[in-house]
A = this chain, B = another copy of it.
């Protein structure tokens, strides 16, 4: 009889690896932050004695019906977020992308972004991410040192990018200054267990060749991933072609930036040849369907085509300002649904339409994209991203209340009524029966409501009529 720290059991366990597989009536055994075994529930008592046992489902928990069941799976990797911007959730909607940026988001950022904004906004994002099952965030925003501290305190894991942009902001004046601050941040976090530093050159239209080369150099020197927006809109692609005679991907290829360390976000404008170029260079792609749709970027990431070429595709929410939440379950569902349409349409990427497309990008692929693929992109898949013996116990529990269930994987991805109730990171409980264990939700929400009143006061008018 072995002594362990924690045993978590539920009707269904989706381990992610192996793919398209789930276990019924098993438990996960955790010791020293890691998964040490996955055994049948009926056999666990013979083998293990645990300090804590969490057996979910069958009415074991107060408030649950006897018929409520739970699914356990690996914590989600939100592979693209600007956490602090959660304070600008719904700040502007249903306006053109140009108006969204120039009349709303950029002026609001210019006015409000600062240490308080980043601290509070990141707290709000962390609480929302934990409540919806994200255990690892790939983060990019100003004041990475503040975001990193908030994220570490929340108990989440994160890769936090150093922001680099050629324009002056409150954070730094030019690329050199961003990089200088960045090097300090990298130094500070390079050995942190929970927070990994990375490089975040904003996008081709805001970064010079010189800065990209410097980023490449730092990436190689410190073995850091590069997190960048790429081919997000057709305007970006057209402008670069006009300016440099090259599409953005070709420019980065010319600079030698394409590699397995690159995480290219959005990629809504891709030809077949570009999909192959991405694959040949082992570039990781992050698909942010809800943000792309909401901002009307005139394209959608051709996930099926990229996967066909062998590209590692991940999923991210982007910021809540263009989503408007940080929920990876709904992001997966959207991605699965929209890829079937994408497959059928004559996209700018010149994919062939196909009438029998509902088989494209099945639910088990979506779950991999939201977990293990994120871990691969960040170079942490030996330790994270699936429920496997030897990996850290980063686990989410999802309550399923809408029968019937013919396939637990499909049910998790396609049924919108499922709710995350519990989250563990390295075996530590961050969310227990929907209640946050490491953050004071009410205190954060109260501060957000106060801060957003100030923001709202000078928000440009929209067409909505409010009767007080």
Contacts and interface: CB of A to CB of B under 8 A. Distances in A.
Contacts of A358: 94-97, 100, 294-296
29 contacts: A20-B464, A23-B466, A23-B467, A65-B442, A67-B442, A67-B446, A90-B404, A90-B407, A90-B410, A94-B359, A94-B360, A96-B356, A96-B357, A96-B358, A97-B355, A100-B358, A124-B403, A294-B340, A294-B414, A296-B340, A296-B343, A296-B359, A324-B415, A334-B337, A341-B341, A404-B451, A404-B455, A407-B462, A407-B464
Interface of A: 18, 20-26, 65-67, 87, 89-91, 93-100, 124, 128, 132, 233-235, 290, 292-296, 298-300, 323-325, 327, 330, 334, 336-338, 340-341, 343-347, 353-364, 401-407, 409-411, 414-417, 441-442, 445-446, 448-449, 451-452, 455-456, 459, 462-468
Contact of A93 (B97, B405, B407, B467): B407
A357 B24 contact: no
Contacts of A364: 464
Contacts of A87: 404
Q: Of residues A234, A346, A404, which shows the largest number of chain B Cβ atoms within 10 Å of its Cβ?
A: A404
A37 to B, nearest CB: 14
B467 A299 contact: no
Contacts of A345: 345-347
Given A24-B468, A296-B360, A325 B417 contact: yes
Nearest to A340: B296
A223 to B, nearest CB: 36
Given A340-B293, A403-B452, A411 B356 contact: no
A452 B407 CA distance: 12
A467 B357 contact: no
A300 to B, nearest CB: 6
Number of copies: 2
A459 B324 CA distance: 38
A152 to B, nearest CB: 23
Contacts of A234: 355
Q: Of residues A20, A323, A344, which shows the largest number of chain B Cβ atoms within 10 Å of its Cβ?
A: A344
A446 B404 CA distance: 10
Which 3 pairs, one residue from A and one from B, show the smallest C-beta to C-beta distance?
A: A404-B452, A296-B358, A94-B362
Given A298-B355, A359-B95, A404 B89 contact: yes
A82 to B, nearest CB: 16
A468 B25 contact: yes
Given A89-B402, A295-B358, A325-B402, 6 more contacts: A21-B464, A94-B361, A298-B353, A298-B355, A325-B417, A407-B462
A17 B336 CA distance: 35
Given A98-B356, A462-B407, A362 B448 contact: no
Q: Of residues A20, A294, A336, which shows the largest number of chain B Cβ atoms within 10 Å of its Cβ?
A: A294
Nearest to A364: B464
Nearest to A451: B404
